[in-house]
Amino acid sequence: MIDIHCHIVYGVDDGSYSKAESLRMAQIAAHSGVTDIIATPHSIPGMFDNFAGEELDAAFGRLEKLIADNGLDERLRVHRGMEAFANDDTLDRLENGQLLTLAGTDHLLIECEFGEDPEYFGGILLRLRRRGIRPVIAHPERYYFAQDDPKFLLDYVDMGCALQLDSGSVTGMFGHRSRRTALELLDIGAVQLIGSDAHDSESRTPDMREAADLIANEFSHRYAELIFDVNPARLLKNRRLLFPGDESEGKRRDPFMTDEEFWGV
């Protein structure tokens, strides 16, 4: 498995708080079958001021050294990214080079307020798309507007965005409404990625096996493989992400792909 959303960098946000905690998280990930992690600290101006530059580079470097010094680097590869926050400054931060995409690709992990106006968020996503960015929407099943009506998320997907569920939402960690919305999105085939969104080694861990087993059993092994393995691997190679059925049919599945996504431009 590949984890594209993990707060394993210590001392920079509300995730790992120490070297020891980050090491425990890395060990859990490796033991549970995760081969690659994209480390994604929050980038929320005024709260977690993590922006591309020397300070964040040093934090990533400390994590990478920790993993190598403990002999985990051959089992667990770490890639750099961030979880960008959608607000009025998002486009400026992108153009100023302050935002890190996922593993240096065109894919940007982005979140919004849980009570955000979906039209406002959609406007930011559209402007990112126009700049050649492929937004990966973090934990959409936890946003209140999506829980009320998932159609907004389908509009984002049709725009060329990808939906990334939290593994904990699938297992019920974030409550009934998040789980229900996650399962609805899975049922209609709109989900392309899963991430642990891990913050620690005790409750929100990088172990995604329970969610993977649930999806394999409730939907299909092929679907689980697509969103835990195939698409994350494609993301790391900066390739377009697939929907269920794309692998075998080799054709477009409306309405969940734009022409740009289908043709890979």
Q: Residue 34 and residue 43: Cα distance in Å, rounded?
A: 24
- The per-residue pLDDT for range 89-143, each reduced to its tens digit, is 999 999 999 999 999 999 999 999 999 999 999 999 999 999 999 999 999 999 9
pLDDT surpasses 90 at 1: yes
Q: Going from the N-terminus, what domains does the chain have, and what CATH number goes with each? A: 2-263 (3.20.20.140)
Angle between helices 151-159 and 118-130 (to 10 degrees): 10
pLDDT surpasses 60 at 260: no
**Is the Cα torsion angle 45, 65, 78, 198 positive or negative in sign?**
negative
- Buried b / exposed e along 187-210 (16+ C-beta atoms within 10 A): eebbbbbbbbbbbbbeebbbbbee
β-sheet bridge partners, residue 164: 138, 193
pLDDT surpasses 60 at 261: no
Confidence of residue 247 (pLDDT cuts 50, 70, 90): low
Mean pLDDT over the full length of the chain = 94
pLDDT surpasses 50 at 151: yes
Give the pair of three-digit tokens for residue 137: 């929407």
Give the pair of three-digit tokens for residue 92: 């400026």
With a threshold of 0.95, does the pTM exceed it?
no
- The per-residue pLDDT for range 220-236, each reduced to its tens digit, is 999 999 999 999 999 99
What is the CB-side half-sphere exposure of residue 196 using CA atoms within 13 A?
32
- The per-residue pLDDT for range 56-87, each reduced to its tens digit, is 999 999 999 999 999 999 999 999 999 999 99
Residue type (1 letter), 240: R
Q: Residue 198 and residue 37: Cα distance in Å, rounded?
A: 11
In order of 40, 85, 206, 219, the CA distances from 110 in angstroms are: 10, 6, 19, 27
In order of 92, 136, 174, 176, the CA distances from 253 in angstroms are: 34, 19, 30, 29
Task: Give the pLDDT of residue 228.
Answer: 98
Mean of the pLDDT values across residues 163-181? 98
CB distance 13 to 6 below 8 Å: no
What is the CB-side half-sphere exposure of residue 216 using CA atoms within 13 A?
12
Mean of the pLDDT values across residues 152-174? 97
The number of angstroms, rounded, from the C-alpha of 185 to the middle of its chain's C-alpha atoms is 15
